[in-house]
Amino acid sequence: MANSFMGTRPILVVSDPELIKDMNIKNFHHFVDHMDTKSGDPLNDRSLFNLMGDEWKAMRSVISPTFSSGKMRAMHPLIIDCVHRLDQYLETKAINGDELDVKRAMGNLTMDVIASCTS
């Protein structure tokens, strides 16, 4: 763990995987609210990372079954395949000296993972 600041606001950065697991799974009810990072974008502001209180609890209860340990284990090889495709794409870009639109590449990876894991 480390102390830091987000602007003038003190924050605690947790990097211990077991502690993160405890916070996000076993004791998540103690960590419902967090720093408000809403941007004014109606889609982004409704994501699990930006919701708080009862809205966060409701969204988490809907999403949690999708990310059970068994389902995550089953998705792992699919995600690895997507990352390997991205790696090949990045290598080709580097070899050719082409510019890379990182935002687009990450967006494509995200969609590839979602499509692979939900089909």
Residues 62 and 87 placed together within one structural domain of the fold: no
- Given this model, what pLDDT does residue 33 score? 67
Residues of the chain with pLDDT under 70: 32-35
Residues 59 and 73 placed together within one structural domain of the fold: no
- Give 52's contacts (C-beta < 8 A, 6+ positions apart): 32, 33, 34, 36
- Given this model, what pLDDT does residue 56 score? 80
Please count the other Cβ atoms lying within 10 Å of the Cβ belonging to residue 98: 9
- Given this model, what pLDDT does residue 100 score? 96
Of 22, 39, 66, which residue constitutes the final position of a domain?
66
Residues 79 and 113 placed together within one structural domain of the fold: yes
Residue 36 and residue 16: Cα distance in Å, rounded? Answer: 23
Question: What value, to the nearest 5°, has the Cα angle with vertex 110 and ends 84 and 90?
Answer: 40
- Given this model, what pLDDT does residue 89 score? 97
- Given this model, what pLDDT does residue 47 score? 78
